[in-house]
Amino acid sequence: MLVAQPDAESSGITRAVYQKIKRNLTMTEASNMLDLVLLVDDDDTTNYLNRRLLTDMKVAKEIKVLKNGREAIDYLSKACTATPDATYKCPNLIFLDIKMPMMDGFEFLEEYQRLGLDAGDHVIILMLTSSASFYDLERIKSFKKVKKHYSKALTNHDVKEILREFFQQRNK
């Protein structure tokens, strides 16, 4: 939320009061932000566009990019276990590409299930795809952890829908 700086003479608001209002708005905005969003995608352009959109929309305090499913599993194995490494945060949201080298999105999901990561169902996983392959879309349905799929790159409308559908309680 943007707040225009008042003209102190015409509004009667002192600079100190304005700064306090601005600080409180920023703190409120920050409390509504997700702690961490993971972008798991090997495409630099998609990562740039998605990171920029999520940053501009102030969706998360931190956005981390991982280039393939193996990097994501390695990260989550440290962050989302019963005894997590304190230097790693378990994400609120993962945007997962389907087609990646080393470990694709489906291999990631199989390993994620096998390792029992996020047994408490705290992480929202959304698939990103640049193809509308019927086979891929049907295969996504077999993974209960995947809440939805979106076409690359994310749009402002997509992000608003995601926040409304999966994180609405944070914005109340």
Burial of 82 (0-12, 13-18, 19+ CB in 10 A): exposed
Greatest CA span in the chain, whole angstroms?
65
Q: With bands split at pLDDT 50, 70 and 90, how would you rate the model's confidence at 66?
A: very high
- Whole-number mean pLDDT of the chain? 84
Lowest mean pLDDT among 1-5, 59-63, 149-153: 1-5
Report domain extents, the chain: 1-32, 34-171
CA distance 83 to 89: 12
Lowest mean pLDDT among 4-8, 36-40, 140-144: 4-8
Kindly give the interhelix angle for 44-56 and 156-167, rounded to the nearest 10 degrees. Answer: 60
pLDDT (tens digit per residue) in 77-113: 999 888 888 899 999 999 999 999 999 999 999 999 9
In this predicted structure, the answer to whether residue 25 has a pLDDT above a threshold of 60 is no
| pTM over the 0.75 mark | yes
CATH code for the part of the protein at 34-171? 3.40.50.2300
